[in-house]
Amino acid sequence: MHTSDLFSAPPLDAKQQRMAQLCDVLQHHAHQYYVLDAPEVPDAVYDQWFQELQALEVAHPQWRRPDSPTQRVGGKPLDGFDTVRHAVPMLSIRTETDTESSGAQAFDTRVRKELELEPDATQVEYVTELKFDGLAMNLRYEAGILVQAATRGDGEYGEDVTQNIRTIGQIPLRLRASSALPVPDILEVRGEVYMRRDDFEALNERQRERIAQGERGEKTFVNPRNAAAGAVRQLDPAIAAARPLSFFAYGVGEVRGGVDVATHHELLLALKAWGFPVADLTATTLGAAGLVEFHQRIGSLRDTLPYDIDGVVYKVNKLALQQRLGFVSREPRWAVAHKYPAQEQLTTVLAIDVQVGRTGKLTPVAKLAPVFVGGVTVTNATLHNEDEARRKDVRVGDTVIVRRAGDVIPEVVAVVPESLASAQRGSLFTMPHVCPVCGSVAVREEDEADYRCTGGLFCSAQRKQAILHFAQRRAVEVEGLGEKLVDQLVDAGLIHTLPDLYRLGFTALAALERMADKSAQNVVDALEKSKETTLPRFLFGLGIRHVGEATAKALARHFGLIDALMDATMEQLLEVNDVGPTVAQSIRTFFDQAHNREVVEQLRACGIHWPALEAASDAPKPLAGLTFVITGTLPTLGRDAAKDLIEAAGAKVSGSVSKKTSYVLAGSEAGSKLDRARELGVAVIDEAALRQMLEEPT
Predicted confidence at residue 645, as pLDDT, reads: 79
User: Does the domain spanning 432-611 belong to CATH 2.40.50.140?
Assistant: no
Task: List, in sequence order, every residue forming a beta bridge with 443; answer none if it has no partner.
Answer: 452
Predicted confidence at residue 13, as pLDDT, reads: 61
Q: In terms of C-beta density within 10 A (0-12 exposed, 13-18 middle, 19 or more buried), how is residue 620 classed?
A: exposed
DSSP 471-532: HSTTTT--TT--HHHHHHHHHTTS-SSGGGGGG--HHHHHTSTT--HHHHHHHHHHHHHHTB
Share of the chain above pLDDT 90, in %: 49
pLDDT in tens, 150-185: 999 888 999 999 988 988 888 888 888 887 889 999
Q: In terms of C-beta density within 10 A (0-12 exposed, 13-18 middle, 19 or more buried), how is residue 553 classed?
A: buried
Measured CA distances, 684 to 654, 672, 678, 697, 698 (Å)? 14, 13, 8, 18, 15
| Domain coordinates in residue numbering, the chain | 3-71, 94-339, 344-421, 432-611, 627-695
Predicted confidence at residue 73, as pLDDT, reads: 52
Q: Rounded to whole angstroms, how far apart are CA atoms 331 and 89? A: 11
Identify the CATH number of the domain defined by range 3-71: 1.10.287.610
Q: CA nearest 264: which of 278, 275, 246?
A: 278
User: In the chain, which stretches have pLDDT less than 50?
Assistant: 697-698
Q: Rounded to whole angstroms, how far apart are CA atoms 33 and 226? A: 8
Measured CA distances, 292 to 102, 104, 283, 528 (Å)? 8, 6, 13, 60
Helix/strand/coil (H, E, C) string of 378-396?
A: EEEEECCCHHHHHHHCCCC
Predicted confidence at residue 571, as pLDDT, reads: 93
Predicted confidence at residue 698, as pLDDT, reads: 41
* Residue 37 CB partners (closer than 8 Å, separation 6+): 226, 229, 230, 233
Would you tell me which CATH number, out of the four given (3.40.50.11540, 3.20.20.70, 2.60.40.10, 2.40.50.140), belongs to the domain 344-421? 2.40.50.140
Predicted confidence at residue 619, as pLDDT, reads: 54
Q: Rounded to whole angstroms, how far apart are CA atoms 632 and 381? A: 52
| pTM score | 0.58
Q: Rounded to whole angstroms, how far apart are CA atoms 226 and 133? A: 9
pLDDT in tens, 611-621: 887 665 555 67
Q: What is the CA radius of gyration of the chain?
A: 35
Residues that are catalytic: 131
Predicted confidence at residue 343, as pLDDT, reads: 81
Map residue 665 onto helix, strand or coil.
Answer: strand
The gap between the terminal CA atoms of the chain, to the nearest Å, is 88
Q: What is the torsional sign of CA 188, 192, 193, 198?
A: negative
User: Does the domain spanning 627-695 belong to CATH 3.40.50.10190?
Assistant: yes
Superfamily of domain 94-339: DNA ligase/mRNA capping enzyme (3.30.470.30)
